[in-house]
Amino acid sequence: MYQEERMQVILAYLKKNKRINVDTICTLCDVSRDTARRDLVKLEEKGTILRTHGGAILPTLQKELKAYEDRLRYDSKEKKAIGKLATSLVHKGEKIIMNTSTTVLACAEFLNIDDCSIITNSIYLADILANKPGVKIHLLGGQLHQEHRYLYGLSTITMLSNYYTDKVFVGTGGITENGLTVGHEDDGFVMKKMIEQADQAIVLADHSKFNKKFFFKFAELSQIDILVTDQKPPERFMKIFNEHNIKVLFPKK
């Protein structure tokens, strides 16, 4: 079977099942794992699939995710309001994990403290913090996501397991009563570990994230301590947050 034929088989399977793994491709097309991976690379280059850890999904599952550079400029007023409020939770001498979220990035921009340590996997965030003399930066290693400029993978998770921190600041793609989700599986695994390593989990999310669900769940609501947002959530969500003892902070008008 030629590559073009295999790619048609893969796409047909994806349209029916929404996701596929390398082993399934090997079985369907009678090829090696290396050949299956090359087919996925080719399909991703064409923009018809999105590769994940061990397989692929259709891009339509993430249609609401914006390119990172675009998201840096999107809803800047809301992100800045959340970021500024979130800095009030950072205290002298604390050790804090920060993820790659653009809302967490806004928090880093407003951070002004004499002494704290930040562990992050974000190149963008580390660059911002490099201009703040009171902040010690610990940049995690791993595989570089070239578009979004963050590090991920087994090496990143292994390094994280060596750090125990006071707090973690993470963003999210969506929040529902079933938990917090993001579009990228690789990013989600790192965020999951970040939350495990911190005494207190703080989520930064604007109002548009409520009742949205993406591909990968990285946290249960029961794992979250504080939510910082730009406006009071709908009553249905306030009730859910109260049931899980999540403190909700938002700028007072």
Task: Give residue-wise pLDDT tens across range 183-207.
Answer: 888 889 999 999 999 999 999 999 9
d(CA 40, CA 52): 10
Say what the pLDDT of residue 60 is: 57
Same structural domain, 39 and 79: no
Neighbour count for residue 112 (Cβ, 10 Å): 10
Tens-digit pLDDT profile for residues 160-171? 999 999 999 999
Tens-digit pLDDT profile for residues 136-152? 999 999 998 877 788 99
How deeply is 39 buried, as exposed, middle or buried, from its count of CB atoms within 10 A (0-12, 13-18, 19+)?
buried
With a threshold of 0.75, does the pTM exceed it? no
Same structural domain, 129 and 84: yes
Last residue of a domain, one of 43, 61, 79: 61
Same structural domain, 14 and 41: yes
Neighbour count for residue 77 (Cβ, 10 Å): 9
**Helix (H) / strand (E) containing 229:** none
| Helices 76-86, 102-110: crossing angle, 10 deg rounding | 60
Q: Quick one: average pLDDT of 100-123?
A: 93
- pLDDT surpasses 50 at 65: no
Closest CA to 106 of 131, 133, 87: 87
Q: What are phi and psi of 136, to 5 degrees?
A: -95, 130
Number of domains in the chain: 2
Residue 41 belongs to domain spanning: 3-61
Same structural domain, 200 and 91: yes
Closest CA to 69 of 41, 100, 107: 100
- Residues pairing with 122 in the sheet: 150
